[in-house]
């Protein structure tokens, strides 16, 4: 059996401001942006540069009960983990475009890590995992 997680939904307030943030500040690739008139919503898919794995579906909150989850999808915990091949390149670039880091870079047993906020306040780890990390061995 072969299965995979294709998309992770990220609840956003506005499609266009989310696309702007992720493509301009984080350099993500916009893979799809398709209007679905029958549901009056858009199917917006993004991915980090060079990524071939799971993508992020930007899902605009469509009901009042979804609004409180914008920026707080994981109850204040780190929600998403962005691995890079060059931590300091990406960290410095993110600082230069105004990304807010809430935990400074730190060397851990698994690699370098710092925590940043996206435009809505969701917490992300910026990671550079060590070469021998089991996750990296799975994707090679």
Domain match, 46 and 91 both? no
Give the separation between CA 105 and CA 90, rounded to whole angstroms: 12
Which residues constitute the domain of residue 82? 71-139
Domain match, 61 and 77 both? no
Which of 39, 70, 101 corresponds to the end of one domain? Answer: 70
Domain match, 79 and 17 both? no
Return the HEC string of the chain.
Answer: CCCCCCEEEEEECCHHHHHHHHHHHCCCEEEEEEEECCCCEEEEEEECCCCCCCEEEEEECCCHHHHHHCCCCCCCCEEEEEECCCHHHHHHHHHHCCCCEEEEEEEECCEEEEEEECCCCCEEEEEEECCCCHHHHHHC
Which of 32, 49, 70 corresponds to the end of one domain? Answer: 70
pLDDT of residue 136: 76
Domain match, 126 and 96 both? yes
The residue ranking higher by pLDDT, 4 or 138, is: 4
Domain match, 75 and 130 both? yes
**CATH code, domain carrying 116:** 3.10.180.10
Q: Which residues contact 130 (CB under 8 A, 6 or more apart)?
A: 110, 111, 136
| Per-residue tokens: 135 | 């996750």
Domain match, 77 and 132 both? yes
Provide the whole-model pTM. Answer: 0.92
Which of 19, 45, 70 corresponds to the end of one domain? Answer: 70
For residue 139, what pLDDT band results from cuts at 50, 70 and 90? low
Q: What are the tens digits of pLDDT across the range 25-57?
A: 999 999 999 999 999 999 999 999 999 889 999
Count how many domains the chain has: 2
């Amino acid at each position: 059996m072969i299965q995979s997680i294709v998309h992770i939904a990220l609840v956003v307030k506005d499609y266009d401001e989310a696309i702007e943030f992720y493509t301009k500040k984080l350099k993500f690739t916009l893979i799809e942006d398709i209007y679905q008139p029958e549901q009056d919503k858009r199917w917006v898919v993004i991915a980090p540069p060079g990524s071939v794995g799971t993508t992020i579906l930007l899902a605009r909150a469509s009901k009042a009960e979804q609004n409180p989850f914008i920026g707080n999808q994981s109850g204040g915990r780190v929600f998403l983990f962005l691995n890079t091949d060059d931590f300091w390149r990406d960290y410095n670039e993110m600082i230069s475009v105004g990304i807010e880091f809430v935990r400074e870079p730190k060397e851990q047993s698994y690699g370098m890590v710092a925590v940043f906020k996206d435009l809505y306040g969701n917490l992300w780890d910026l990671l550079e995992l060590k070469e021998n990390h089991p996750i990296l061995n799975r994707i090679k």
